[in-house]
Every structure is written in structure tokens, then in C-alpha cells.
């Protein structure tokens, strides 16, 4: 079964698996203990820390191991804000950060802090200038991901780091999606990553804090991991994570060329194979192994299930919020359709045959899902508009009804789509933008919101 | 090499090791994903949750997996206090809780909360009546360990739980040291445990919150683990933890009898084999596999090193603070000597031959360490007292000097020990209690504290 969801979790690297097995024998004891097995575990932990630090461009004493990338981001955001609170309580982040950064920001806001989100373009990329302009004298921390987890767009971290340094603002770089395939960009004050994204085991994250950067742990005291991460350190998992990172970095240059070409092929061929398919993300500044596309008139989860039946494991929508049925904040910030999205992220052992097969399977899968759509509902002509009532029906139905009925009004005519699904507020304007129609805005009605569209073509 | 430090971390159970290896193949995918491998990981995670819940006397939906026992305690303490803040901001815990509970309590106090510690007797046991009397109308949470991690004393949890229930105070039971060998005591509102203490892998803790008990996560939001523990769940480790717990509970009744007898033998024979050795902890209410004793005139870490050279892995002093050189808060609360302590905790694969060997090795190890002591310093007779200057010298030197010079004053005479080591404040009164001498109190002097002792025998 071809696994195309490496961005959720990469398969455990074969060398990491071997290392984990050995470490269960050699590094099982408590590294805080002074007897032989404890000292051995400590030695192995120190060696793993040196390896990971070297691969991430950090000093070993700057690196603490967390238990996940999410914990690393929570600690980095709240710890850096606490450490720099004399500078102020303003936090800046891009609008497309991982949900763990946004959740930490919400917590900061609930505690009385101020938060500013820097918008992105339609490819999901921040402008360094806009990011720099968002920095204020009371900004205590700025956060920028190295690459986006949903659409693979690589951010201009080096330029932003220079602006932050000039403004005296520490910069947290969330490198979870790029650490492994890509080198870590220079200029970070704090750096976070997650081992299971680069082929290490679960349960290991990285929080690096540059020497001299102020940090105060938001958690209760503990003397492990330089006082930054409380709790017993899982030494075997850390050893396996280090082995995986070293192996992946050594293979990266060659593998990236292959993966980049495979994604390039998908980018080029998919729109021709599947009608009404739009490829998302920056075509140039992008992760080598990741692609997200959006199929009009399709529910993403239904398409995912159809692909699963055909033997493909892919992600749909926002990777960390797909279980909550809220529209992806990344796609919303990009102003693109938040429905019908599929993220394909190739693991290191992907083959060209897998990609061939995907190109053969996808058109049929999309056709199957589209064929299952309900029959169109009738529109009502009222006050010179065609009114489409989609109340009580979840996206993508409002957009589907809009597309079906568009030609029932003359060019220049207006359609009103009644919807009570929040995602319609994002998706109807995004559809208009894709289709070259004019979005006129919304009107509050007694039973829901009416979204108004003028037919232009 | 006989490993006698199971209370720090138990060796991975052979069945857990097998389960971990299988789970790396079957449960490696993200359990939040909807494709086949994700669903399989979710199914295995659910099954592991059911197993662990059943063994701990909880419902599956009450159990969340943390990444360590320390994290479980931090979350349980701060989450229950936040959830019950309308009741008040008073926290009650025993004086001998694990450092993670004390650190969470310190954080609560720093945030303006009130904290009361219930004292223990010389065996390290709380009195249920005293615990009940410490509950106030504004008490939002009470915390009591099932068994002490340093001396093995089992606490009267069931009695305390009844008093808490009558007072309407939720009770957190920290079962880290007993979950596995012993059943979980009834009556908890919140329950915490740590898998690597029962033979599971590192990286898995348990936080159970009884249905209906108020809880509000102190961490940023996340939709995993019922919103209680943010971050990616390490499914293979959780599966191995469940397998280990089930196996250990099935073997417990028989193993406990054997281990209990071994510890009983050590308790009986050690004081006769080693001069000036005192066995600590409750002789009756105790863990089956754990014993702590204290050797007068010995530095615990030196003895640990000597035992390590002889092939034995044991712990010394407070298990979680031995690296910080602060006296164990557990031993201090018991009023016993905080120096020269050795904790022996037998793993399941311990043999009688290991115990025989330990009984042969220990007397020589203690003798070797005692032989390395410095020559006694001379005392000075001043103002009718014998003054012993131990300024600048770490414990156990002040107690050693006191013992050496005791007979230089007549019965009824007074010795003043000058010391600037904080541990002396605990150890000199504890030594007087052990030796039947009278502790008169302390006097502040220009260069340190003078501790006054009257010779009685």
C-alpha cells in the first residue's frame, strides 16, 4: 500500500529501528544514576544530543529533548515570551503556523498578551517586509515556520531573521516539516523540530535555545534537560532519533532531487488528468516531497476514503484539525478553497511506480466521489436574484450548488447562496477567485447568511 | 551485574519488548488519520487504553496518556486546581510526595495559591486523621501517593479517600511506585502512574480523571487525548506499556510473596552485618520489593560507587534530587538522617543468589568507605563546651565529627558543632534521636550555625 503521508509521520528509518533495538539493551537505565548502566545511558544520551545538535546547527548545551514537536512549540512560545516579558507582551507569527503555535498564542492572549498574525500570499508565503513591519517595540517573540506543513511552501526565514535581529526580537523557527530533508535555516534564536517527521520514533521533539536568548520555563521546576523539559528522558528513543537524523541528512541531497522531480511531475500532470483540480502552494519555494491540491465539488474526506480503498494513504485538509471539522486555517489564510484538499507527502522509499499508480488511480477516485453527489436542488428567483438554499448542508455543498446553477443567470446576474456552514464564508469567495466570478459580499438573513455572487463569464 | 534499582526504572518486560517490536510494524502510523494504517494504529491505541484502564480500575474514557509520570503529576495537580478553582485555591499534600507534585505545588504557590503539607511519622506514613484535619472549606485538591518512592511506605489511601469524599475534596493518588506490583487503591478522583516503573518503555505516563471530576488543562489547547495531553501519541510505546502492565499484574501475587520475603531477610540481617546501620520505612505497610537503609558516617554517593565497583546498581538518597545535592525532603520529613542512604529495589528477575551476594558485599563496601574518612579534626574547649569546627565541609562530616568526639565530654556535657551545610540542620537532630543523645537547638554565629548537643549516655 503506497504511503503518501510522510508529513504526518515518516516511516521509522531502518537504521533508527536497529538503533532503537540496541538502545533497549544499552541505554535502558536512568541516565541520572551513577552506577555503570546509568552512566552508559547518560553517555549515549550525550552522544545523541551532540549528533542532533550538529545536524541542526546548534551547540549540544542549547538542545533539550521534548516529547513531541507540539510540546516543543508550546514551551518555545510560552518560555520565550516569559523570558522576554520585560521587552513587552507582543507576539508575532505568520498566519499559517502549526496549530501548536496558534494554541500557545491563544493561551498568551487569554493571559492578557497581544498577538499579531502576518498574512500570506495565495501560495502560503509571508513577505519578509510585511513580517518586519509587524514587529513592534514591545514585540517579545516572533515565530516563523521553515516550511508549511499543509502546502509545503518554504518561508523566507533568513530574510525575516535579519529583520528580527535588527529589531532585537528573538525568532522562533519551527523546523518540524523541513528538518531532515532540508538544512536548518540560519538566524534562529529558538528552534523546534519533531523526530517522527524525519524518520525517528514517536515521543521525541527538539527545543533548541541559542546561548544568550532569554527563556523561562512555563512549567513546574525539574532538573532534567537543563530545567527546560520536565520528566524522565526516553533515552532509547532519543538515540534512534539521532541515528535517523544523521542518516536522512546524508541521503538528503540525492533523495531531494528525485522527490522534487516526482512532485514536479504531479504538479504538471494532475490538472490535465482531473477536471477542476487546482495545485496549491509555492511552485518554487517548496519542500521537495510534498504537494497539496484541491478538487472542486469534492469532500476531502470522501476522496481520502476512496483513495484508501484504492490503496493510497494520503491526508486531507488541515493535518491537525481534520478531526474537528473546522476549515484549515492555512488554506483560509491563503484565500483558497478549504474543501476537497488532498496532501501528498512522499516517504523516502517512494518509487516512480507508486507515482505512476497514483496518477492512474486519482481521476477515477475523484469521478467516483463526484458521482455520489446529490441531485441539484432547485433555485428560487426572488427580487431579481437566483436564491440557492443550502441551509443545514455542509461544505462543499454550497459551492457545488453555486457552480451547478451559475449558468441559470445571465452574465451580470446575481446569485445568493444561503448557508449556515462557516466554511462557506471562505470557500465561496475562494471559488469566485478561481473561477473568475465576482464575489459581492454577504448579507445577514433571518435563517443564515446570504453570500452574493455576480456572474462575470 | 545485579540491578537493584527497579524503583528508578524497571527493566523492560520481555513481553513488552516483543509488543514494542510488533507495534513498530503495526502501530507506527498517525492514529488521527483515516486511512487503513492510521485506523489500525487507532484500534491498537484504543485496545491498549482499555487494558490499562481495566488494570487501574478506570474507564477507558477516563484514561489519557502522558509522556511521563512527572508530566502526569504536573497536569493532574494544576489541572484539578484550575478545574476546581471556584471551591478555593488551597492544596493539601503529604510532606513526602514525589518532587513533581512538590514542584507543581510550588508553581501554584507562586501563582498565589495556598499549600499545606501533612507531616509523616518516622516511618514516612501520614495519619489519615491528620490528613483529614488539614482539609479546609477552600481546599480544591488533596494529593497522596499510594506508596513512597524513597522508603516504600504504603500510605492509608482508602481512609484518606473517605475523608476527602466526605469533605467534597477531589483526591489525586500518585500510584507511580505501586501500579504494577499492587492493585490501585479505591477512592481516587485523579490517578497518575508511569509505565517505565512497571516494566513498560520510557515515554508513557497515565493521567486518569474520574468521570464527573472537574479538570481544566493548564496547557495550550490540543484535540488529542481528550484535550488533556497535547502532542503526538507514541502508539508503539503505549501498546508495550499495556502489555507490560497486564503481564506484571498477572505475576504480581506470586512475585510479591517472593520479593517480600527477600526484603524481610535484608531488613532482618543487615543491621547485624553492618555496624551503625538503620533500616528506614514502615515494616508492615510497605512495597514488597523496596528497602532503604542508612549507614552512619558514610556518604551515600561514595557507598553507591563502592557498590557499583562490586557490581551492584542501587540508588542513594532522594531519587530525583540526588544530582542537586540537596537533602531528601522525604527523609527530612521523617526526621531521619538524610545522609548515607541506600535504596534497594528488586526487579522481577532478581534471584536469591543476588540477595546472598548483596549481604556478603555490603559490609566490606561500607567498611571501605568508612576507612577513607579523614582523620578527626581537633576540638576546642570554649566556655564550658567542646566546639567542633566543620565549616566548609559537607555532610556527613558534621555528624561524623560529632560521633567521634562525643566521649570527649562527660555525660551531661555539651558539644557545639559549627557547620554551614544545610543538611546538618536535619542530620544532627536525627543522629541525636538515633543515638539517644539530647539535641538542644541551634545558635547563629558569625561564621555559621552552632548546633548544640548534650551527651546523655
Q: Is pTM beyond 0.80 here?
A: yes
Test the A interface: residue of B66, B110, B220 with most A CBs within 10 Å:
B220
Percentage of residues in chain B with pLDDT exceeding 70?
98
Task: Give the pLDDT of residue A321.
Answer: 44
pLDDT band at A322, cuts 50/70/90? Answer: very low
Residue A318 has pLDDT above 50, yes or no: no
Q: Which of A248, A196, A241 is nearest to A8 (CA)?
A: A196
Kindly report the average pLDDT of chain B as a whole number: 94
What Cα–Cα distance (Å) separates residue B160 from each residue in A453, B187, B215, B327?
67, 9, 21, 28
- Residue B191's DSSP bridge partners are B173, B208
pLDDT digits (tens, 9 = 90+) for B216-238: 999 998 888 988 999 999 999 99
- The verdict on a CB contact (< 8 Å) between B9 and A3 is no
| A161, A301: one domain | no
pLDDT digits (tens, 9 = 90+) for A367-407: 999 998 877 778 888 878 999 999 988 888 899 999 989 99
Residues 6+ apart with CB under 8 A from A274: A295, A362, A363, A366
Closest in A17, A71, A312 to B230, CB measured: A71
Minimum Cα–Cα distance from A194: chain B residue: B232
Minimum Cα–Cα distance from B217: chain A residue: A107
A342, A372, A402: which is the final residue of a domain? A372
> To the nearest whole angstrom, how far is the Cα of B446 from the nearest Cα of chain A?
33
The ipTM, to two decimals, is: 0.92
- Looking at the annotation, which residues of B are catalytic? 320
The CATH number for A429's domain is 3.30.110.40
- The verdict on a CB contact (< 8 Å) between A223 and B107 is no
| B314, B416: one domain | no
- Mean pLDDT on A61-90: 97
Contacts of A30 in chain B (CB under 8 A): 5, 8-9
Q: How far apart are CA B257 and CA B237, in angstroms?
A: 29
A200, A216, A248: which is the final residue of a domain? A248
Minimum Cα–Cα distance from B312: chain A residue: A35
| A237, A290: one domain | no
Closest in A104, A194, A230 to B70, CB measured: A230
pLDDT digits (tens, 9 = 90+) for A87-106: 999 999 999 999 999 999 99
Q: Is residue B8 part of a domain?
A: no
Q: How far apart are CA A176 and CA A174, in angstroms?
A: 6
Contacts of A12 in chain B (CB under 8 A): 24, 28
Closest in B1, B107, B301 to A34, CB measured: B301
Contacts of B313 in chain A (CB under 8 A): 29, 33, 35-38
| A306, A386: one domain | no
Q: Is residue B9 part of a domain?
A: no
pLDDT digits (tens, 9 = 90+) for B129-171: 999 999 999 999 999 999 999 999 999 999 999 999 999 999 9
Number of domains in chain B: 3
- Residue A416's DSSP bridge partners are A387, A452
- Mean pLDDT on B238-256: 97
> To the nearest whole angstrom, how far is the Cα of A408 from the nearest Cα of chain B?
38
Q: How far apart are CA B120 and CA B118, in angstroms?
A: 7
Percentage of residues in chain A with pLDDT exceeding 70?
98
Contacts of A322 in chain B (CB under 8 A): 32, 34
Residue B198 has pLDDT above 60, yes or no: yes
- The verdict on a CB contact (< 8 Å) between A312 and B35 is yes
Please, what is the Cα angle at A193 between A189 and A194, to 5 degrees? 165
- Mean pLDDT on A257-279: 96
Minimum Cα–Cα distance from B17: chain A residue: A24
Minimum Cα–Cα distance from B101: chain A residue: A220
| B263, B412: one domain | no
What Cα–Cα distance (Å) separates residue B221 from each residue in A110, A173, A229, A293, A321?
12, 21, 18, 28, 12
CA dihedral B193, B197, B201, B207 (to 10 degrees): 0
Please, what is the Cα angle at A333 between A328 and A337, to 5 degrees? 60
Contacts of B344 in chain A (CB under 8 A): none
Q: How far apart are CA A237 and CA B35, in angstroms?
A: 26
| B336, B384: one domain | no
Closest in B20, B231, B316 to A68, CB measured: B231
Burial of A88-104, coded b for 16+ CB within 10 Å and e otherwise, reads: bbbbbbbbbbbbbbbbb
- The verdict on a CB contact (< 8 Å) between A67 and B68 is yes
Task: Give the pLDDT of residue B325.
Answer: 61
Minimum Cα–Cα distance from B324: chain A residue: A223
Collapse the DSSP code of A40 into the 3-class scheme (helix H, G, I; strand E, B; otherwise coil) and give the result.
helix
| A219, A281: one domain | no
Among A153-167, A169-183, A290-304, whose mean pLDDT is lowest?
A: A290-304
> To the nearest whole angstrom, how far is the Cα of A400 from the nearest Cα of chain B?
24
Strands (E), B154-288: 171-174, 190-194, 205-209, 277-280
Q: Is residue A364 part of a domain?
A: yes
Q: Is residue B4 part of a domain?
A: no
| B143, B219: one domain | yes
Contacts of A216 in chain B (CB under 8 A): none
Contacts of B71 in chain A (CB under 8 A): 67, 230-231
Q: Is residue A5 part of a domain?
A: no
Task: Give the pLDDT of residue A378.
Answer: 80
Which listed residue (A320, A350, A395, A432) is catalytic?
Answer: A320
Sheet with B315-316: strands ordered across? B277-280, B290-295, B341-345, B315-316
Residue scoring higher pLDDT (B263 or B338): B263
pLDDT band at B327, cuts 50/70/90? Answer: confident
The CATH number for A112's domain is 3.40.640.10
Contacts of A233 in chain B (CB under 8 A): 202
For residue A55 the three cell numbers come to: 545536524
Which residue carries 560507587 as its cell? B305
Closest in A21, A33, A320 to B5, CB measured: A33
> To the nearest whole angstrom, how far is the Cα of A371 from the nearest Cα of chain B?
21
What Cα–Cα distance (Å) separates residue A186 from each residue in A128, A146, A152, B48?
15, 10, 19, 42
- The verdict on a CB contact (< 8 Å) between B201 and A3 is no
- The verdict on a CB contact (< 8 Å) between B313 and A37 is yes
Q: How far apart are CA A87 and CA A102, in angstroms?
A: 21
Q: Is residue B230 part of a domain?
A: yes
- The verdict on a CB contact (< 8 Å) between A32 and B219 is no
Question: How many residues are recorded in chain A?
Answer: 457
What Cα–Cα distance (Å) separates residue B307 from each residue in B1, B3, B11, B41?
11, 11, 19, 44
- Mean pLDDT on A338-347: 93
Burial of B206-219, coded b for 16+ CB within 10 Å and e otherwise, reads: bbbbbeebbbebbb
Residue A191 has pLDDT above 90, yes or no: yes
> Helices A352-371 and A235-273: crossing angle, nearest 10°?
60
Closest in A103, A203, A221 to B221, CB measured: A103
Task: Give the pLDDT of residue B33.
Answer: 93
Contacts of B64 in chain A (CB under 8 A): none
Closest in A8, A70, A308 to B230, CB measured: A70
Q: Which of A74, A26, A79 is nearest to A238 (CA)?
A: A26
Closest in B194, B237, B304 to A34, CB measured: B304
| B314, B286: one domain | yes
Burial of A253 (0-12, 13-18, 19+ CB in 10 A): exposed
> To the nearest whole angstrom, how far is the Cα of A107 from the nearest Cα of chain B?
6
| A214, A275: one domain | no
A248, A280, A309: which is the final residue of a domain? A248
| Cis peptide bond upstream of A396, omega within 30 | yes
> To the nearest whole angstrom, how far is the Cα of A360 from the nearest Cα of chain B?
19
Q: Is residue A8 part of a domain?
A: no
> To the nearest whole angstrom, how far is the Cα of B390 from the nearest Cα of chain A?
27
For residue A382 the three cell numbers come to: 426572488
Residue A443 has pLDDT above 60, yes or no: yes
Q: Which of B117, B105, B118, B116 is nearest to B74 (CA)?
A: B105
Residue scoring higher pLDDT (B317 or B323): B317
pLDDT band at B265, cuts 50/70/90? Answer: very high
For residue B33 the three cell numbers come to: 488519520
pLDDT band at A324, cuts 50/70/90? Answer: low
| B162, B76: one domain | yes
- The verdict on a CB contact (< 8 Å) between A29 and B36 is no
Test the A interface: residue of B1, B33, B115, B204 with most A CBs within 10 Å:
B33
For residue A101 the three cell numbers come to: 503555535
Task: Give the pLDDT of residue A376.
Answer: 75
| A81, A183: one domain | yes
Task: Give the pLDDT of residue B396.
Answer: 85
B241 and B203 Cβ atoms separated by less than 8 Å: no
B239 and B51 Cβ atoms separated by less than 8 Å: no
Rg of chain A (C-alpha set): 24
Range of the domain at B277: 252-372
- The verdict on a CB contact (< 8 Å) between A103 and B220 is yes
pLDDT digits (tens, 9 = 90+) for B42-80: 999 999 999 999 999 999 999 999 999 999 999 999 999
- The verdict on a CB contact (< 8 Å) between A103 and B24 is no
B358 and B312 Cβ atoms separated by less than 8 Å: yes
Contacts of B300 in chain A (CB under 8 A): none
Residues 6+ apart with CB under 8 A from B371: none
> To the nearest whole angstrom, how far is the Cα of A242 from the nearest Cα of chain B?
17
Collapse the DSSP code of A452 into the 3-class scheme (helix H, G, I; strand E, B; otherwise coil) and give the result.
strand
- The verdict on a CB contact (< 8 Å) between A9 and B20 is no
Say how far residue A394 (Cα) sits from the centre of its chain.
24
Closest in A9, A221, A223 to B29, CB measured: A9
Q: Is residue B120 part of a domain?
A: yes
Contacts of A1 in chain B (CB under 8 A): 36-37
- The verdict on a CB contact (< 8 Å) between B220 and A100 is yes
- Mean pLDDT on A29-52: 96
For residue B341 the three cell numbers come to: 542512604
pLDDT digits (tens, 9 = 90+) for B303-322: 999 999 999 999 986 444 44
Amino acid at each position: 500500500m503506497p504511503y503518501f503521508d510522510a508529513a504526518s509521520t515518516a516511516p521509522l528509518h531502518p537504521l533508527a529501528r536497529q538503533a532503537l533495538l540496541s538502545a533497549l539493551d544499552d541505554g535502558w537505565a536512568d541516565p541520572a544514576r551513577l552506577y555503570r548502566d546509568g552512566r552508559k545511558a547518560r553517555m549515549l544520551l550525550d552522544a545523541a544530543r551532540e549528533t542532533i545538535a550538529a545536524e541542526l546547527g546548534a551547540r549540544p548545551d542549547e538542545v533539550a529533548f521534548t516529547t513531541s514537536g507540539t510540546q516543543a512549540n508550546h514551551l518555545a512560545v510560552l518560555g520565550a515570551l516569559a523570558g522576554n516579558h520585560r521587552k513587552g507582551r507582543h507576539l508575532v507569527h505568520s498566519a499559517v503556523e502549526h496549530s501548536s503555535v496558534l494554541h500557545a498564542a491563544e493561551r498568551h492572549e487569554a493571559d492578557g498578551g497581544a498577538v499579531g498574525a502576518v498574512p500570506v500570499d495565495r501560495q502560503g508565503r509571508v513577505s519578509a517586509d510585511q513580517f518586519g513591519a509587524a514587529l513592534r517595540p514591545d514585540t517579545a517573540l516572533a515565530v516563523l515556520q521553515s516550511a508549511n506543513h499543509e502546502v509545503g511552501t518554504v518561508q523566507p526565514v533568513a530574510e525575516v531573521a535579519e529583520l528580527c535581529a535588527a529589531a532585537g526580537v528573538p525568532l522562533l523557527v519551527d523546523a518540524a516539516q523541513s528538518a531532515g530533508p532540508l538544512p536548518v535555516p540560519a538566524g534562529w534564536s529558538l528552534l523546534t523540530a519533531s523526530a517522527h517527521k524525519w524518520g525517528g520514533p514517536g515521543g521525541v521533539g527538539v527545543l533548541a535555545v541559542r546561548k544568550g536568548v532569554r527563556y523561562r520555563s512555563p512549567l513546574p521546576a525539574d532538573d532534567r534537560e537543563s530545567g527546560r523539559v520536565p520528566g524522565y528522558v526516553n533515552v532509547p528513543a532519543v538515540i534512534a532519533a539521532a541515528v535517523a537524523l544523521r542518516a536522512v541528512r546524508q541521503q538528503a541531497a540525492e533523495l531531494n532531487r528525485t522527490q522534487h522531480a516526482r512532485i514536479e511531475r504531479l504538479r504538471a500532470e494532475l490538472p490535465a488528468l482531473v477536471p477542476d483540480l487546482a495545485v496549491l502552494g509555492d511552485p518554487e519555494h517548496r519542500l521537495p516531497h510534498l504537494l497539496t491540491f484541491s478538487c472542486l465539488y469534492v469532500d476531502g474526506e470522501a476522496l481520502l476514503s476512496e483513495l484508501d480503498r484504492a490503496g493510497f494513504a494520503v491526508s486531507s485538509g488541515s493535518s491537525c484539525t481534520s478531526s474537528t471539522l473546522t476549515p484549515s486555517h492555512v488554506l483560509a489564510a491563503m484565500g483558497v478553497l478549504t474543501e476537497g484538499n488532498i496532501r501528498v507527502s512522499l516517504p523516502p522509499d517512494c518509487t516512480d511506480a507508486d507515482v505512476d499508480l497514483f496518477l492512474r488511480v486519482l481521476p477515477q477516485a475523484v469521478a467516483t466521489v463526484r458521482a455520489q453527489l446529490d441531485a441539484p436542488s432547485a433555485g428560487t428567483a426572488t427580487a431579481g436574484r437566483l436564491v440557492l438554499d443550502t441551509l443545514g448542508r455542509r461544505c462543499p455543498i454550497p459551492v457545488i450548488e453555486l457552480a451547478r446553477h451559475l449558468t441559470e443567470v445571465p452574465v451580470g446576474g446575481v446569485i445568493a447562496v444561503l448557508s449556515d456552514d462557516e466554511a462557506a464564508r471562505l470557500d465561496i469567495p475562494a471559488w469566485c477567485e478561481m473561477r473568475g466570478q465576482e464575489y459581492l459580499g454577504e448579507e445577514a438573513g433571518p435563517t443564515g447568511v446570504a453570500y452574493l455572487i455576480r456572474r462575470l463569464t
